[in-house]
Amino acid sequence: MSRHFDRMRYHIADDPDAGGRPRPPGAFTGIAPGLESVAPRFTSNEAAARFYLDHKLAEEPETAGFRAALATESPARVPDLTLRSSRQTPASGTTLVRFDQTHAQIPIFGSDVLVELDQSRELVAMDARLAEVSGAPDVPTLDAPAAVAAVAAATGTAIEGAGSMPPALTYYLDDAGTWHLAWHLHGLAAVLPEARPGPGHTGHGMEDPSPRELYPRVDYLVDAQDGAILFYFGVTPTVDVPTKLRGVDENGVHVDRIWGDKLGSGFALRDRLRNIVTFDLALGDLAENPQLTDPVQVNDPDLGEKFKAAVSAHANATKVFDFYRGVLSRDSVDDQGMALTSVINCIFSPHGPGPEWKNAAWFDNRMWYGQMRNPAGVLVSTARFLDVIGHELTHGVIDTSSGLVYRNQSGALNESFADILGITISNWYEAETPENVAGWNWELGRGWRPTGAGLRSLSDPVAFGQPAHMRDFVHTTADNGGVHINSGIPNKAAHLLFTATTAQGTPVLDARDWVVLLYLAMVRLSRLALFTDVPVALRDVAKVYLAGSPKQLDPVLAAIESAYSAVGIE
C-alpha cells in the first residue's frame, strides 16, 4: 500500500546549502544573514514544522500527494495535515513533530509526516508520505455497527461493543491502487480464520499461549460501502521517597537494590519514584480479568528467598526502566512516566489448569508472568528472563512512538526492535563488559526451553527457524504475515551493526552508540514502514548524532550500508 504514496525526504546533511547545520526560517524566505530579527518566529513546534513543510513541499516536483497536502487558498497553513504528536528526543537533542494527512477532514491511513527540529526550532530533517485521494466517496453507506457486524460474520465471533476506541472513518489505498472510504475499528476481540495460529503455534516461540493470542486485539479497516474487510493488523501488544529493599531472585542472585514503599511496620513493592509496582496473583487466572488491589507486601526490608518471583519481576522492571531512561533518555514505556505494572504467579485457564503457564506477556499495559518447572521439577517464574521482559516492554514503547503496524514487514520490524532492545538490555546488566559486544549472549530467552535453548538469536536466526536474508523471506497470511518469522532478517542486520569493525579491527561504534542510533531510527519510522526504511532512518539519525565527530560518520554509514546489504535489504 505505501508504495503508492508520494515520498519526500530532506536532511541537512544532504543539503549543500545547509553545510550540515540546521536551516533557520530565514533561509526559506530569502532573508540575508545578519537580518535574523525579521525572520519568522514561532510560538510552537507545530507552527515551525508547518512553516518548513509549506516551503519544502512547494519546492518539490509536482505530484498528486504533495498537491493534495497544499490544496488550499492559504497553503502556508498546510491544512490537510493534522498534528499527531510532538515529542522531544533527549538522546539527539531534537524534537519530532508528526502529522497525519487528511482528505475532507478524514484521515488517510498510512500517511505520515515527520519533521525534526533542533532546540531553536530550526529544521534538521523531514520525511513525508502523502497521497491524493480520488474516486472514493466522502459519506459512508454503512454505519459503524454494520462494519462491526461484518467483522463478526467474517470471524464467526460474537463481538461486544465497538472496540477499544470509537470507530472512525479513514481513507485506505489498497495494493491495486484503489481508494476506499473505510471504518477503522480498534482492538476487536476477533480474528479471521486465516490469521489464527495453527496447532501448537505460539507467536513469540514461548511454550504456552499468551492472552494476546486467545484474547486477541485486532484493528480492522472495513469498506464503508459494502462491508468488505480491506485490511487488519494485530495490536497488543509529588514524589514519595522510595525505600531500599533486598532479596534473592529466581536465579539465586542476591539483589540489593530494589525499591519499595514504607507501609507502617511493613513494606510494599511499589517504587513511587519510577512508578514501578509488582502484584502477586497467587496462581489466579488471568482469563478471569482479575482486579489488582494491593501490591506484594512484606514485613522485612530483606525479602530473603521467600519472594523470588516478586524480586525478579520488580528488579528486572527496574533495570528496563533505568536502561530506557539512562541510556535512551526515555521516561518509561510511553515517555510520559507510565506505570510499569508486573503481575507474578499467573495461570491462564484456556491453556490448562496450571500451575504451569510458560509465558510472559505485555497485555493490557501490564506484564503478566507465568511459571515453569526447572530440571529439578521446581516451579520458577518467567520473570527471571530479563531479555524477555525487555522485549515485551519494548512493544509498549513502539506502540507509543512509531506505532509500527503489527502485520507484514512493519510487524516484523516491531518484533525485531523488541528483540534487539531486549537482548541489549539483558547484556547491559549481565555481560562482563556491556559496551564491548565480544562477550554478549545473542540469544533471546536462553534457558527457556527444556533443552536450555532460547527463543531466537540475533547472530544466527537460521538456527531458530528464521530467515537471515531477503531471498528466504516467507510470504504467509499466518502469524500476522510472518512477523515472528521474518524478523530474523533485520535481526541479523542489527547483529552485523553491533559487531562491525574498521579496517584496523576496532569496533566502528560501541554498543551504547549503536543502540541509541537504532532506537532513534525506530521512533522515526512510519506505521507501515518497510525493511528498506530502517537503513534510511539510521543514516539520517547518524548524520545528526555524529555531527560533532565527522571522522566517525563515514565508517558508520559504510557499516549501515554493509549490514543491510548483507541481508538483502537494499
Tabulate helix, strand, coil % of the chain (nearest 5).
Answer: 35, 25, 40
* CATH T-level fold of 144-234: Nuclear Transport Factor 2; Chain: A, (3.10.450)
Angle at 113 between CA 107 and CA 119, to 5 degrees: 135
- The third-level CATH classification (topology) of the domain covering 408-566 is Neutral Protease; domain 2 (1.10.390)
Pair 139, 119: CB distance under 8 Å: no
CA-to-CA distance for 295 and 305, rounded, in angstroms?
A: 18
Query: Which pLDDT score, from 0 to 100, does residue 174 have?
Result: 92
Report the C-alpha gap between 31 and 515 in whole angstroms: 39
Written out in words, the top-level CATH class of the domain with range 243-384 is: alpha beta
Q: Grid coordinates 553491533 are at which residue?
A: 498
**Using CA atoms, how far apart are residues 531 and 536, in angstroms rounded to an integer?**
10
Tell me the HSE value of 335 on the side-chain side, using a 13 A CA sphere: 17
State residue 193's pLDDT score.
84
The β-bridge partners of 154 are none
Map 60-121 to HEC letters.
CCCCHHHHHHCCCCCHHHCCCEEEEEEEEECCCCEEEEEEEEEECCEEECCCEEEEEECCCC
Transcribe 212-277 into DSSP letters: HHHS--EEEEEETTT--EEEEEE----PPPPEEEEEE-TTS-EEEEEEEEEETTEEESEETTTTEE
Single-letter amino acid code for the residue at 271:
D
366-373 and 340-347 beta bridge pairing: parallel
Q: Would you state the cell numbers that stand for residue 388, as one nine-digit string?
A: 524477555
pLDDT for the residue 205: 59
The CA distance from 342 to 374, in Å, is 22
For every residue of 502-555, DSSP letters joined together read -TTS-BSS-HHHHHHHHHHHHHHS-TT--TTHHHHHHHHHHHHHTTT-HHHHHH
Q: Which residues are catalytic?
A: 392, 484
Tell which residue, 540, 563, 564, has the closest CA to residue 553. Answer: 540
The residues spanned by each domain of the chain are 2-130, 144-234, 243-384, 408-566
Tens-digit pLDDT string for the chain (570 aa): 556 788 888 998 888 887 778 878 877 766 555 544 445 678 899 999 999 998 888 877 665 555 555 544 444 445 588 999 998 888 788 999 999 999 988 999 999 999 999 999 999 999 999 999 999 998 999 999 999 999 999 999 888 776 767 899 999 999 889 999 999 999 888 888 877 665 554 555 565 666 656 567 889 999 999 999 999 988 655 334 678 899 999 999 999 889 999 887 899 999 988 999 999 999 999 888 888 989 999 999 999 999 999 999 999 999 999 999 889 989 899 888 899 999 999 999 888 888 999 999 888 889 999 999 988 889 999 999 999 999 999 999 999 899 999 999 999 999 999 999 999 999 999 988 888 899 999 999 998 887 778 899 999 999 999 999 999 999 998 889 999 999 999 999 999 999 999 989 999 999 999 999 999 999 999 999 999 999 999 999 999 888 878 889 999 999 999 999 999 998
Question: What CA–CA distance (Å, rounded) separates 570 from 561?
Answer: 8
Q: What is the pTM of this model?
A: 0.77
Return the residue matching grid coordinates 525572520: 39
Mutual angle of helices 533-545 and 488-498, in 10-degree steps: 30
What Å distances lie between residue 394 and 336, 348, 362, 404, 489, CA to CA? 15, 23, 9, 12, 19
The CA–CA distances, whole Å, from 388 to 201, 302, 391, 419, 443 equal 18, 26, 5, 8, 10
Residue 316 sits at the vertex; the CA angle it makes with 315 and 322, to the nearest 5 degrees, is 90
**Burial of residue 113 (number of CB atoms within 10 Å: 0-12, 13-18, 19+):** buried
Contact (Cβ atoms closer than 8 angstroms) between residue 564 and residue 570: yes
- Of 493, 292, 251, give the one whose Cα is nearest residue 382: 251
Give 181's DSSP letter: E
Q: For residue 441, what are the CA distances in angstroms to 28, 59, 431, 435, 450?
A: 50, 49, 8, 13, 18
CB atoms within 10 A of CB 434: 19
Give the cell for residue 294: 494491593
* Listed residue (167, 171, 175, 173) closest to 147, CA to CA: 167
> Closest by alpha carbon to 563, among 498, 478, 473?
498
Q: How many CA atoms lie within 13 A of 530 on its CB side?
A: 10
Supply the pLDDT for residue 487: 97
Q: Do the beta carbons of residue 90 and residue 118 sit within 8 Å?
A: no
Other residues' Cβ atoms within 10 Å of the Cβ of residue 99: 25
- 331 residue type, one letter: D
Question: Mapping DSSP to helix (H, G, I), strand (E, B) and coil, where does residue 480 land?
Answer: helix
Q: Cell 497553513 maps to which residue? A: 77
Map grid coordinates 509526516 to a residue: 113
CA atoms within 13 A on the CB side of 109: 27
Torsion angles phi and psi, residue 28, rounded to 5: -100, -10
